[in-house]
Amino acid sequence: MRMVMRPLAAASALVLLALGAAACSPGAPKGVDKDTLDAAVSRAIGDPSSCLLIAEQASGKLVYRYNSHTACARPLPACAGTGTGAAAGSANGLQTIDQLLKATLKDGQPRALSCNSAADASRGVGWASGPIPGKGLVYAAMMEGDRAFPGRMMADRLSRAFKDAGL
């Protein structure tokens, strides 16, 4: 009987942990269905290594995240010098998506950057950020890998995805 209880207890603990983590994750901007937004973003830049954050422009409060915290937390080349608008505060040529979001919240300027993320040019990283017109929201997106879109392409694709999702 003890052997049956331990797997059940472990399974219950995992379910509670998952529910707790989901409760801490942002849902979606007010008036937007999360599943619809997830599907639109997935069609636009969906990849295991992509990330999108949306925050309220006035407060900086995060209202949406596409992908896991782990996928979103990686420092990657900031692509400074390969375009305009690198995020302020990027040290050693690296930045995180949080830094890009904070820079965009601060100045409201759109950014679209891309560069190689591997020395042999086998992988790339694209960064896109900017305000979502008329919504009081800003976004920051990152895509890294052997099939990463350039920043400008990401910005265009996300603009359509936001409209498709009702943003």
Q: Which helix or strand (DSSP H or E) is residue 65 part of?
A: strand 62-66
What pLDDT shows up at residue 27?
86
Q: Grade residue 47 by pLDDT with cuts at 50, 70 and 90.
A: confident
Domain ranges of the chain: 26-164
Is the pLDDT score of 143 beyond 90? yes
Cβ–Cβ < 8 Å for 127, 111: yes
**Under CATH, to which class is 26-164 assigned?**
alpha beta
Q: Grade residue 59 by pLDDT with cuts at 50, 70 and 90.
A: very high
Q: Grade residue 14 by pLDDT with cuts at 50, 70 and 90.
A: very low
Mean pLDDT throughout 77-98? 68
Q: Which two tokens stand for residue 112?
A: 């679209």
What pLDDT shows up at residue 92?
59
What pLDDT shows up at residue 83?
41
Cβ–Cβ < 8 Å for 108, 85: no
Provide the 3-class DSSP secondary structure of residue 42. helix
What pLDDT shows up at residue 86?
45
The chain-wide mean pLDDT, for the chain, equals: 84
Write the pLDDT tens digit of every residue in 92-120: 599 999 999 999 999 999 999 999 999 99
User: 59: exposed, middle or buried (C-beta count within 10 Å: 0-12, 13-18, 19+)?
Assistant: exposed
What would you measure as the largest C-alpha separation in the chain, in angstroms? 65
- How many angstroms separate the Cα of 50 from the Cα of each of 7, 17, 73, 88, 92? 34, 24, 11, 21, 22
CA geometry: angle 118, 98, 64, nearest 5 deg: 115
Please give the residue that has the higher pLDDT: either 12 or 119. Answer: 119
Cβ-based neighbours of 79, under 8 Å, separated by 6 or more: 86, 113, 114, 115, 125, 127, 151
Is the pLDDT score of 76 beyond 80? yes
Mean pLDDT throughout 51-55? 97
